[in-house]
Chain A
Amino acid sequence: MSGRESSSQKSLRRYPGFRAVALMCLFLLYVPILVVAIYSFNDIRSITTWGGFSLKWYAKAFSNPQIQSATWNSLVIAVSAATIATCVATAAAMGMTRGRRFRGQGGVFAVISIPLMIPEIVTAVASLAFFLAIGFTLGLHTILIAHTVFCIPFAYLPIAARMQGIEKAFDEAAKDLYAGRWRAFRYVLLPMMTPAIISGYMLAFIISLDDFIITSLVAGPGSTTLPLAIYGLVRVGFSPEINAISTLLLLVSMIFVSASYLVSRIGRSN
């Protein structure tokens, strides 16, 4: 498709109303979260009147000890789960993409993508039943294990996609220069892979940070993460505090996704 098409050709492709639907789609996707964000800054509790800009609900949320400990738990779990998942996924991506194709490769890929295919609620109850069956007590560690497993494909996909794009010639050139397997990895492959690995890490991090269903089943008493804390607060009733903490979480996710996207683009343009 060239950029120089006559306007009549272009107009033939247009369908009346499609632009309106596309704009409506964006509207639909963003209005609810924007509304929540706007109300989080409203000084008064009212829905219909604007009491002026204020950060007091944020201050209130931050001073809530439940939210504080839940935030800390969420961060610890997300960092650990994303780190383990990314390491494991990077290794798997290397095993899958470096070198020739082998029989059974499709099977390995299928296993790695299983967490994406199984409905989350099934994963959640299966994990719960399994942890109790092998005698684990529920707590932060069970959340961590479940998150790590669930995060692996999210980290794997961007990393493997990038790794496939790197010519085998680089490995071979390094080996021609008598670099060992490890040195070839450390000095040739790893630097080229860094953007994709960061990108995969960030996606895994958000997936862990945001997870609610699996966490709510495998969390023990006392081991509350941020989504669980928010859910608990909503059961009591909507408060602007919830809007504030939700807005913050939205912002964190958006920043991470945008960063992940930008980093992976940098990786490709190099």
Chain B
Amino acid sequence: MDDNGGAFIVPVDVRIDRRGGKMSEQTSLRAPRLWNWHRIALFLPAMGLIGFFLIIPIGVIAIYSFLVPGVYGGVVWEFTTNAYRQFLFEQDLFTDEWAFNGAYLNIYGRSIGQAAVATIACLLVGFPTAYFIATRPPENRTIWLFLVTIPYWVNLLIRTLAVLFLLRDQGPINSFLMDWGVIEKPIRLAYTNFAIGFGLVYSYLPFMVLPIYASLERFDFSLMEAGYDLYAGRWTILRKVVLPVVAPGVVAGSLLVFIPSLGSFIAPDILGGGRNLMIGNLIALQFQGSRNWPFGSAAAMILLTLVLLALFFFARRQQGGLASSHG
């Protein structure tokens, strides 16, 4: 997922580049049909594993989302759309009537809000960082990129626990502030929406920096001088010359932060203290605790749909961007 220094940053960068590239190639020239059995045999194991153990399972929960929940977990094979209706309405136990209930909608809304705030925060930190790296001498860039990338590969659970360790009431921040007499009681930092947001930014910040850097790397900085010659100010140039060029990188980075934030489980679970649920926790809960598989499946399908929609718009934008840069 993340790299343009070749294999290393592979994750983020290659994915974007390659996808964009492939699409345009496919539409422009039709590749010959070449169904050579040797080649099919080579990629069949990978496709088979992913197909059988990931695509079929997604199909399974897609079906489960239209079934009736079993009493002890599992499903009863009976068609119903109740799992989806449950998002907006609550069925009265006695009268069987459906009444509006915004609780779940609220969780989705909060998740989207939380992910959006994290994305904006990542953008505010990530863009200047990427810009700064791109204007370093080439040999320093590698080191900077390396430093920014490394935390991504470090265990997400442990990084989130590190944030909790730092923010909790008995943690270093509160302890030192109290020792120095700045505060008398610990400030509540952990188990708040702020903590979740901080955790999300901390988790996915590298995803923002890398794609923006990748698009800045191709930016012709002499365009900026042209701007100065036309008496544009620094910030005008940033807005009107630099930003349009790096827009695809900004969009890619925003998606790479927004999507995992939206479905995040660890940050809200650990930093929210189980009280500030997000979509990911809601889904997991249906399969672990409250045991309503169809509802959990429906929640997962809705999340998946949101993510695929975001990716779809991104892919279209990328194509548009490519077309305009060629034209």
Cβ A231 vs Cβ B311 within 8 A: no
Complex CA distance for A42 and B42, rounded to whole angstroms: 52
> Is B22 part of the binding interface, using a Cβ–Cβ cutoff of 8 Å?
yes
Complex CA distance for A28 and B159, rounded to whole angstroms: 11
Within 8 A of A (CB), among B165-209: 165-166, 168, 170-172, 175-176, 179, 201-202, 205-206, 209
Cβ B131 vs Cβ A15 within 8 A: yes
Which residues from chain B contact A257 at a C-beta distance below 8 Å?
Answer: 8, 149-150, 153
Cβ A102 vs Cβ B35 within 8 A: yes
Cβ A112 vs Cβ B54 within 8 A: no
Given known A-B contacts A15-B234, A157-B15, A148 and B49 have beta carbons under 8 A apart: yes
A117 to B: closest C-beta gap in Å: 6
The stretch of A29-37, A51-59, A168-176 in contact with B is A29-37
A111 to B: closest C-beta gap in Å: 5
Which residues from chain A contact B322 at a C-beta distance below 8 Å?
Answer: none
Which residues from chain B contact A105 at a C-beta distance below 8 Å?
Answer: 22, 26, 31
Which residues from chain B contact A188 at a C-beta distance below 8 Å?
Answer: none
Complex CA distance for A3 and B151, rounded to whole angstroms: 31
> Is A253 part of the binding interface, using a Cβ–Cβ cutoff of 8 Å?
yes
Cβ A238 vs Cβ B56 within 8 A: no
Cβ A112 vs Cβ B132 within 8 A: no
Residue of B nearest to A250 (CB): B154
Cβ B158 vs Cβ A249 within 8 A: yes
> Is B210 part of the binding interface, using a Cβ–Cβ cutoff of 8 Å?
no
Cβ A118 vs Cβ B43 within 8 A: no
> Is A76 part of the binding interface, using a Cβ–Cβ cutoff of 8 Å?
no
Complex CA distance for A190 and B117, rounded to whole angstroms: 46
Cβ A127 vs Cβ B287 within 8 A: no
Cβ B61 vs Cβ A129 within 8 A: yes
Residue of B nearest to A105 (CB): B31
Cβ contact of A121, chosen from B60, B151, B238, B284, cutoff 8 A: B284
> Is A43 part of the binding interface, using a Cβ–Cβ cutoff of 8 Å?
no
Given known A-B contacts A121-B283, A146-B53, A152 and B46 have beta carbons under 8 A apart: yes
Within 8 A of B (CB), among A47-103: 47-48, 87-89, 91-92, 94-96, 98-103
> Is A106 part of the binding interface, using a Cβ–Cβ cutoff of 8 Å?
yes
Cβ A120 vs Cβ B165 within 8 A: no
> Is B45 part of the binding interface, using a Cβ–Cβ cutoff of 8 Å?
yes
Mark B226-242 against chain A: 1 for CB-CB distance below 8 A, else 0: 00100000100010000
Within 8 A of A (CB), among B103-145: 125-126, 128-129, 131-133, 135, 137, 144
Cβ contact of A254, chosen from B150, B164, B228, B303, cutoff 8 A: B150
> Is A246 part of the binding interface, using a Cβ–Cβ cutoff of 8 Å?
yes
Complex CA distance for A217 and B54, rounded to whole angstroms: 15
Residue of A nearest to B144 (CB): A22
Chain A at the B interface: SS class: helix
The stretch of B85-93, B245-253, B258-266 in contact with A is B258-266
Cβ A21 vs Cβ B225 within 8 A: no
Cβ A212 vs Cβ B266 within 8 A: yes
B211 to A: closest C-beta gap in Å: 14
Residue of B49, B222, B259 with highest tally of chain A CB at under 10 A: B49
Residue of A nearest to B220 (CB): A1
Cβ A25 vs Cβ B228 within 8 A: no
Complex CA distance for A126 and B63, rounded to whole angstroms: 11
* Number of cross-chain contacts by CB at 8 Å: 334
Cβ A227 vs Cβ B157 within 8 A: yes
Cβ contact of A12, chosen from B150, B175, B228, B307, cutoff 8 A: B228
Complex CA distance for A30 and B293, rounded to whole angstroms: 39
Residue of A nearest to B301 (CB): A122
Cβ A13 vs Cβ B125 within 8 A: no
> Is B215 part of the binding interface, using a Cβ–Cβ cutoff of 8 Å?
no
Cβ B31 vs Cβ A103 within 8 A: yes
Cβ B50 vs Cβ A95 within 8 A: no
Complex CA distance for A123 and B15, rounded to whole angstroms: 19
Given known A-B contacts A103-B30, A161-B14, A212-B157, A119 and B259 have beta carbons under 8 A apart: yes
> Is B147 part of the binding interface, using a Cβ–Cβ cutoff of 8 Å?
yes
Given A157-B15, A203-B153, output 18 extra A-B contacts at Cβ < 8 Å.
Answer: A12-B234, A22-B128, A22-B132, A29-B147, A88-B45, A96-B42, A99-B39, A102-B36, A109-B22, A122-B263, A129-B60, A206-B153, A210-B157, A227-B158, A230-B161, A238-B170, A246-B155, A257-B153
23 pairs from A and B in contact (CB 8 Å cutoff): A29-B148, A29-B151, A33-B154, A47-B170, A48-B179, A88-B49, A95-B43, A100-B34, A101-B32, A103-B30, A112-B47, A148-B49, A156-B46, A157-B14, A203-B10, A209-B155, A210-B153, A210-B156, A231-B157, A234-B270, A246-B155, A250-B154, A257-B153
Taking Cβ atoms with an 8 Å cutoff, the residues of B that contact A are 1, 5-8, 10-11, 14-15, 18-19, 22-23, 25-26, 30-36, 38-43, 45-47, 49-51, 53-58, 60-61, 64, 74, 125-126, 128-129, 131-133, 135, 137, 144, 146-151, 153-159, 161-166, 168, 170-172, 175-176, 179, 201-202, 205-206, 209, 221-222, 224-225, 228, 234, 238, 259-260, 262-263, 265-266, 270, 279-280, 283-284, 286-288, 293, 296-297, 300, 303-304, 307-308, 311
Taking Cβ atoms with an 8 Å cutoff, the residues of A that contact B are 1, 3, 9-10, 12-15, 17-19, 21-22, 24-26, 28-33, 35-36, 39, 47-48, 87-89, 91-92, 94-96, 98-103, 105-106, 108-109, 111-130, 132-133, 145-146, 148-149, 152-154, 156-159, 161-162, 181, 196, 199-200, 203, 206, 209-210, 212-213, 217, 227, 230-231, 234, 238, 242-243, 246, 249-250, 253-254, 256-258, 260-261, 264-265, 267-268
